[in-house]
Amino acid sequence: MSHAPPFHCPYCSDEDLRPHGEKHGEWECRACRRAFKLSYIGMLAPASNA
């Protein structure tokens, strides 16, 4: 699953995403020809039902 495009292009919403270069987490959109990077930020805090 790590190499599957996880989502739509955030710019044009197309699904034709492909890995960009060799770096993990970088994608390019063949529809609008933008390249972008996904990065993990961190975990959400545990949900509170306040």
Rounded CA separation 17/19 (Å)? 7
End-to-end CA distance of the chain: 35
Q: Indicate the residue among 29 and 43 with the shorter CB distance to Zn ion.
A: 29
Single out the residue of 6, 12, 15, 24 in contact with Zn ion (rule: CB under 5 A): 12
Single out the residue of 2, 4, 5, 9 in contact with Zn ion (rule: CB under 5 A): 9
Bridge partners of residue 18, in order along the sequence: 28
11 by DSSP, 3-state: which? coil
Contact region with Zn ion (CB under 5 A), list: 4-12, 20-28, 35-43: 4-12
Single out the residue of 6, 7, 25, 32 in contact with Zn ion (rule: CB under 5 A): 32
